[in-house]
Amino acid sequence: MQIQINWEDQAPQIAAAVVYPYPDLRRLWLRVALTAFAEYPNLDVVITDPEGHTVASLSAVEVREQELAYTLHLRQAPQPAAVYHAQVLLTRGDALLHQMTVDFPLTFVEPAS
């Protein structure tokens, strides 16, 4: 019998995050990769337009996977080709473990595999 014991040498981090707009520019495909973790972290994402207004958000409690994918819907009319921002936060309890900002143009590009 093999028993697997998980532990963390360091807090989990956001290894990568990328945002791909859908062709209609009203939905966004968010992909996030996390480093290994023993205790489940929380993930929060806030998408802002060029003026800094929140246009989409997401909260995932105790994520279980290292590779995550979500679809977010913009709350207002899109501004094609404008640069939007995704603030990605990884937390556990009240502790901020890691954060990353991803700037992306609101332009459809075929996602990489």
DSSP collapsed to 3 states, 17-60: EEEEECCCCCEEEEEEEECCCCCCCEEEEEEECCCCCEEEEEEE
Q: What is the pLDDT of residues 31-51, one digit of tens each?
A: 999 999 999 999 999 999 999
Q: Is the pLDDT of residue 2 over 70?
A: no
Please name the amino acid found at residue 76: Q
Report the C-alpha gap between 105 and 1 in whole angstroms.
51
The Cβ of residue 82 has, within 10 Å, a number of other Cβ atoms equal to 13
Taking 80 as the threshold, does the pLDDT of residue 22 lie above it? yes
**Token digits of residue 108:** 């459809």
Query: How high is the mean pLDDT of the chain?
Result: 93
